Amino acid sequence: MVTKIAITDDHEMVLQGIVSMLENTSEVTCVGTYKNASETIENISNDNPDVLLLDINLPDINGIDLSKQLLKKHPDLKIIGLTNFEDISFVKRMLKNGVHGYLLKNTDKLELITAITTVLSGELFLQKDIHKKLWSQNNTASDNGLKPNLTRREHDVLVAISEELTTQEISKKLFISPKTVETHRMNIMSKLGAKNSVGIIKIALEKELL
């Protein structure tokens, strides 16, 4: 099955660059390119992409607000933030709005395909540099008193989930049984009020647990 993607960016060079990067990729086809939020809103229903690569810094509506509007109207759409900015506050705000991934514009073809595949599988994708910045910032952030009280082992499992490890991989890494991993996962979901692994990561980032 071919994945349909669309791209929103106000720089023609970026639009054409991504289209060119993906044109010989059989599993992905570009169904639309948009230069601003208005074009995106106007055309996305007809183009019906599976994934939208969305620039944050647009001339009319910023990508953070646009992502919120789009996901309200198109709940099945997967959005990957695509930007030059490494500002973690942007990342957090987009993730809070329900965006499924985040890439810097210096990404290569392999990483872009990986990101698309990851979000389509229902998982969250964060470029490694972004992940490190989130980890670094949140490790130094002061406790705001609102953090759920996770045990040390639950936190270990949470970190492993954020690294996109499977239950079996977490089991091997932490020297615990897969059943114990799932028990910790359920406890984490309960404490965070999350419904799945993507929800766990989003809420954990909001609460500065990662």
Q: What is the pLDDT of residues 154-183, one digit of tens each?
A: 999 999 998 888 999 999 999 999 999 999
48-88 confidence digits (pLDDT tens):
999 999 998 888 988 888 999 999 999 999 999 987 766 66
Asked if residues 30 and 22 have their Cβ atoms less than 8 Å apart, the reply is: yes
pTM of the model: 0.67
Work out the widest C-alpha separation in the chain, in whole angstroms: 52
Dihedral over Cα of 200, 130, 209, 182: its sign? positive
102: buried, middle or exposed (CB in 10 Å: 19+, 13-18, 0-12)?
A: buried
